Amino acid sequence: MEEDICPNGGFCTTNCPRRMDGSCALTRTKLLIYTVVVDVLAKRVYSENYMNALVFVSGPERGRAKVAVSCGRDGCHNYLYMSELQYVDFSRSFFKKYRKIAIPCCSKTCQDTLLTRLKDEIDFSDPRFNPDACIPTSTD
């Protein structure tokens, strides 16, 4: 029963005895998805953790439902796993519905780093963030 948790099929929670004792392969699916959210309308960047939707997929179906997504922090080459539907939510539906972009990260550390970077980089006073502005452009 315990074995079922470890080899990629399970979820990484604080309840897992292998999480702290070093025997964790670190390839398990994280229960929470650490994301950095860019809210274009509210003009703010913040971190938010989402429940991994794979938790709602039955064990046998999980392999087919999951996709590997590379960590959103530039310079990190780790992958995280989520359901294909959740990936579509993050990459497209959030923007379409709420004008938010959710960038998933592999860890809390990457989430914090990316949050700091984006807070520095994104200039919400840029008129292109103004949804009411209609800026004529010459080429596009």
> Which residues of this protein are in contact with Zn ion, per CB under 5 A?
71, 73, 76, 78, 106, 110
**Strands, E assignment, the chain:** 11-12, 29-30, 32-39, 44-51, 66-70, 79-83, 100-105
User: C-beta of 106: minimal distance to Zn ion in Å?
Assistant: 3
Beta-bridge partners for 105 = 34
The CA distance from 45 to 130, in Å, is: 15
The CA distance from 80 to 72, in Å, is: 10
Closest CB to Zn ion among 108 and 128?
108
Closest CB to Zn ion among 40 and 48?
48
The CA distance from 81 to 53, in Å, is: 10
Closest CB to Zn ion among 78 and 93?
78
User: C-beta of 4: minimal distance to Zn ion in Å?
Assistant: 26
Closest CB to Zn ion among 66 and 73?
73
And the tokens for 7? 């080899």
User: C-beta of 11: minimal distance to Zn ion in Å?
Assistant: 18
- 3-state SS assignment for residue 21: helix
User: C-beta of 72: minimal distance to Zn ion in Å?
Assistant: 8
